[in-house]
Chains A and B, each alone.
Chain A
Amino acid sequence: MAAAATRGDRHAMALLIERQQRALYASAVTLLGSSWDAHDAVQAALTEACASIGTLRDPSKVRPWLAQILVNKCRDTLRDRKRVSPVADAEHLAEMEVFLGSEDDRDLREAIRTLSEERRLVVVLRFFLDLNYEEMAAVTGCPVGTVKSRVYRAIRELRGQVRAAGGSAHG
């Protein structure tokens, strides 16, 4: 499908977009903390992807390629804000989405939002966009070893926060 899209097959490109849009949105809203900004970032990323799909040399790399475009768009948005506020309040997040998760899921989401920007990025790349470590290294511009240790630390931090939240909720 990606190969067909790179050859200019619009139908294949549309299918590709449909399959990726949910993961891209989940990533953008997690990185930006705002569903409004996430919509814009994903649309901008998809527009750029549609315009430049012909430049993608290796169709098997379409997911990291899309991820790179999205991350760049999110960085642009954060830069545009002129203020570092990747963590938005829950009311703001509720504006354009329905979250049907359990209390545990909410705790986990809250924990991800409090991660540092670099840890949140690797969490998104790994678990939402499903990149492998080599691909994550390319997107983040860091060595594979650094990315691995960042992911592990993020997981450990998340586990600590979720346990603390669960403990306080039940205690």
Chain B
Amino acid sequence: MDDCSEVRSELDAHLRGELSFELSAAIEEHLNSCASCRAESENVREISVSVRRLGLMLEPVRPLVPQLTNPRSRMRSHVARVGVAAALAWTLLATAAVFSPRLTQWLVVFPSSRALEENRALVAQERRRADQAGDEGAALERQLTVVLFEQLPRGAKSALMAYIDGVRPLKYRSSQPPLLAVLQREGLGASPSSAELSSIRSVEHREPDALRLHIRLLVRFERVVGARVVPFVIEVSRNGGSEWKVTAAKREESR
């Protein structure tokens, strides 16, 4: 190999040992006879080491993903779980608030980790039941399309969708205005108090097709309105791609 420019564009791969034996040998031979390329090889090595080291220095102040997977770290796991629960609760409140001004009177408490565990059991139970009964959600009446979801900060969407997908490690970290600001912008008041909500009852996945391109989620929860406990259901859908929309929200029949 005699062409210096050809050799130089291979130097990085050569230094990383990614080339074939023959090509590497040819480059070594060239470097032995060409002082200029030898110096260039050293430059490439230095810069690539420096850039690689630089990559290790770039990290955000706050972790992007809480470390949930270490079984020894129960506290971290708990904190992250509560974070997701809080994000979910806020998202639900902000989303539901659009279709009912009465939400201003609704009271919210974030589900405890125990409640979430119970919810998961309920989810599993509902999924089994749905599997047996077929697509019972097809009868869901679409009374109102809620558009607020699309206006939510991307981080909040991520948190909700991560929850939906059952991948809890993703935690709500938004660089956008927090959901509280969204609530305030919508004139829905300040942070709700703990006496005000009944909890989220279940989150149910529906995957009409095997490829998971079309996924519907039914979020069931109850709220105290006046002296009554009113069950609600919100439907979130994804039709291909990664975009999710809240496609329906309604009060369920009183039981």
- List chain A positions with a Cβ less than 8 A from chain B: 10-11, 13-15, 17-18, 21-27, 29-30, 35-40, 42-44, 46-48, 50-52, 54-55, 96-101, 104-105, 108-109, 112, 123, 126-128, 132-133, 145, 148-149, 151-152, 155-156, 158-159, 162
Binding site for A on B (CB under 8 A): 8-13, 18, 43-44, 46-48, 50-65, 67-69, 154-155, 157-158, 161-162, 165-170, 173-176, 211-212, 242
Q: A44-B242, A133-B13 are in contact. Are A159 and B43 (CB under 8 A)?
A: yes
Those 4 A-B pairs whose CB atoms lie nearest each other, nearest first: A36-B175, A26-B58, A128-B55, A50-B167
B43→A40 contact, CB < 8 A: no
Whether B65 pairs with A17 at a CB distance below 8 angstroms is yes
Cα–Cα distance between A14 and B8 once the two chains are bound (Å): 40
B91 to chain A, nearest CB (A): 14
Q: Which residues of A contact B167 (CB under 8 A)?
A: 10, 13-14, 50
Known interface pairs A22-B56, A25-B64, A96-B175. Does A148 touch B69 (Cβ–Cβ under 8 Å)?
no
Are B47 and A148 neighbours in the complex by a CB distance under 8 Å?
no
In the bound complex, how far is the Cα of B168 from the Cα of A145, in angstroms? Answer: 41
**A21 touching B158 by the CB < 8 A rule?**
no
Residues of B within 8 A of A18 (CB): 65, 67, 69, 169
Q: If A39-B60, A148-B13 touch, does A26 touch B175 (CB 8 Å cutoff)? A: no
* Pairwise interchain contact B170-A155, C-beta atoms closer than 8 A: no
On whether the beta carbons of B242 and A152 are closer than 8 Å, the reply is: no
Question: How many contacts between A and B, using CB within 8 angstroms?
Answer: 157
Evaluate contact between A43 and B154: CB separation under 8 angstroms. yes
A54 touches B212 (CB 8 A): yes
Tell me, in angstroms, the Cα distance from A142 to B4 when the chains sit together. Answer: 22
Q: Which residues on A sit within 8 Å (CB–CB) of B170?
A: 17, 43, 46-47, 50
A55 and chain B: residue at smallest CB distance: B211
Q: Do residues B169 and A17 form an inter-chain contact, with CB atoms below 8 A? A: yes
Q: Decide if A158 touches B242 in the complex (CB within 8 Å).
A: no
Check A37 against B175 for contact (C-beta < 8 Å). yes
Q: Is the CB of A152 within 8 A of B12?
A: yes
User: Which residues on A sit within 8 Å (CB–CB) of B161?
Assistant: 47, 51
- Give the residues in chain B near A159, CB-CB below 8 Å: 43, 46-47
CA distance A10 to B47 in the complex (A): 38
| CB–CB A25/B60 < 8 A | yes
Determine whether the beta carbon of A101 is less than 8 Å from that of B48: no
The distance in angstroms between the C-alpha atoms of A21 and B173, with both chains bound, is: 14
A37 to B64, CA, bound (A): 12
Inter-chain contact B47/A15, CB cutoff 8 Å = no
Assess the A21–B64 pair: CB atoms within 8 A. yes
Q: In the complex, what distance in Å separates the CA atom of A99 from the CA atom of B54?
A: 10
Cβ distance B45 to chain A, nearest Cβ, rounded Å:
10
Interfacial chain A residues near B10, Cβ < 8 Å: 148
Shortest distance in angstroms between A145's beta carbon and chain B's nearest beta carbon?
7
Bound CA–CA A24/B64 (angstroms): 10
A73 to chain B, nearest CB (A): 9
Instruction: Name the contact of B158 in the complex, choosing from A47, A55, A158 (C-beta under 8 A).
Output: A47
